[in-house]
Amino acid sequence: MGERLRVGAVQLHSPLSPAECAVQCGEWIAAARKAALDLLVLPESASSRTDDPAETPVAEPLDGPFVQSLIAALDGSGLTVIAGITESAGDRPFNTVVVVDATGIRAVYRKLHLYDAAGMRESDAIRPGEHAPPVIDVGGFGVGVMTCYDIRFPETARALALQGADVLAVPTSWVRGPLKEAHWSTFCAARALESTCFVIGAGQTGGTRIGCSMIVAPDGTTMASAGVEQTLLVTEFDRARVDAARTAFPLLAQRRFDLDLVPRSPELVTGVRRHDG
């Protein structure tokens, strides 16, 4: 079990062309290799973007040129990269995260919670995933994967922590809107605190995206953060911080799994609550 992990989060403004995106991400991977990182997290939709949040970026298969370019850029290194892509799948693509290293694809996660909120409907253009997000080993740390809107659902982070995650990697493309920067920073800190995990939030910036990438410790403190610039955040994780948080607040051990605490209410699911009397 590793005691330290050097990590990075890339904040970028993806080009419209998938080929240009591949070049851009290759340059950030080169910077990560130079910094001797073990783990690099790229944003959601790192393989292509659109200027209109309602449009779907260009989709590619998992064995397409973008993912293959990531793997090629890792040749001869021990670096693991997590990146968001638009994965082709019939009439509606998946919003997918791939975990790759020099040997190839290690894991795939297709976004479960699509952004049908605040006047937008991601599900009109994107197919929802059907499988729980994975936890993969990187340098002896368990790394769980979520995507953007998933971070608003605390059950996702808790499930990953219970599977052995010490780190939550969250590629995102957070759309601008009222208080959205505050929402993002609050969710990153909350997921870190309640799961006693490190959180790496790597976001798109420019245009309709907020940037604000950040890396948060298990005690909720911010280790590194960005504004709206394109940048690489770098820090080092120490397992002792996870152990200290879980000793002080043994939340994963204390939660009462034998109780059904929150039965689903039909009124809440449909967004309407009845008040009788």
> Would you name the residues annotated as active-site residues?
44, 111, 148
With CA atoms as reference, report the closest residue to 9 among 191, 188, 208: 188
Q: What is the CA radius of gyration of the chain?
A: 18
Closest CA to 208 of 125, 146, 126, 115: 115
How far apart, in Å, do the first and last CA atoms of the chain sit?
59
The pair of three-digit structure tokens given for residue 103, joined into one six-digit string: 């040997």
Identity of residue 133: P
Find all residues with CB under 8 Å of 242, minimum gap 6, and list them.
Answer: 166, 196, 197, 198, 218
Name which of 114, 112, 116, 64 is nearest 85 in CA terms. 64
What is the token pair recorded at 48?
């292509």
How deeply is 99 buried, as exposed, middle or buried, from its count of CB atoms within 10 A (0-12, 13-18, 19+)?
A: buried
